[in-house]
Structure 1
Amino acid sequence: MTQRDAFDFLTGNWSVHHRYLLRRLDGCTDWTEFKGACTLRKILDGFANMDENDIHLPSGRYAGVTLRTYDPKSDVWSIYWLDGRRSGRIEPPVVGRFDNGIGIFYGDDRFGERPIRVRFIWSRITRSGARWEQAFSLDEGNTWETNWVMDFTRL
Structure 2
Amino acid sequence: MPTQSTTSRSEDAPADGRADFDFFHGCWNVSHRRLRKRLQGDTNWEVFGGTCDVRPILGGLGNVDDNVIELPGGAYRAATLRTFDPAARQWSIWWIDGRNPSTMDVPMRGTFEAEVGTFLCEDVFDGRTIQVRFLWSRITENSARWEQAFSPDGGKSWETNWIMDFARQAESTASA
TM-score scaled by length of structure 1: 0.98
Q: What residue number does 1:72 align with?
A: 86
Is the deviation greater in 22-31 or in 1-10? 1-10
Instruction: Look up the equivalent residue of 2:94 and give its one-letter code.
Output: Y
Q: What residue number does 1:17 align with?
A: 31
Q: What residue number does 2:73 align with?
A: 59
- Correspondences of 1:126-145 after superposition (within 5 Å): 126-145=140-159
1:108-155 Cα offsets, whole Å, 9 max, x none, are: 111120111000000000011000000000011110000000000000
Would you say 1:124 and 2:153 are equivalent positions?
no
Unaligned runs of 5+ in 1: none
Greater fraction helix:
1
| Cα deviation, residue 100, structure 1 | 1.3
Q: What residue number does 1:100 align with?
A: 114
CA RMSD of aligned residues (A): 0.7
Q: What residue number does 1:146 align with?
A: 160
Which has the larger Rg?
2
Q: What residue number does 2:58 align with?
A: 44
Which structure has more RCO (C-alpha within 8 Å, separation ≥ 6)? 2
Select 1:89's aligned residue among 103, 112, 123: 103
How far apart are the structure 1 equivalents of 2:86 and 2:21? Answer: 14
How far apart are the structure 1 equivalents of 2:101 and 2:62? Answer: 21
| Cα deviation, residue 87, structure 1 | 1.7
Unaligned runs of 5+ in 2: 1-8, 10-14, 170-176
Select 1:34's aligned residue among 33, 45, 48: 48
| Cα deviation, residue 86, structure 1 | 1.4
Greater fraction strand:
1
Specify the SS of the correspondent of 2:23.
helix
Identity %: 51
How far apart are the structure 2 equivalents of 1:87 and 1:29? Answer: 30
Instruction: Look up the equivalent residue of 1:85 and give its one-letter code.
Output: R
Runs of 4+ that moved beyond 6 A? none
How far apart are the structure 2 equivalents of 1:78 and 1:66? Answer: 10
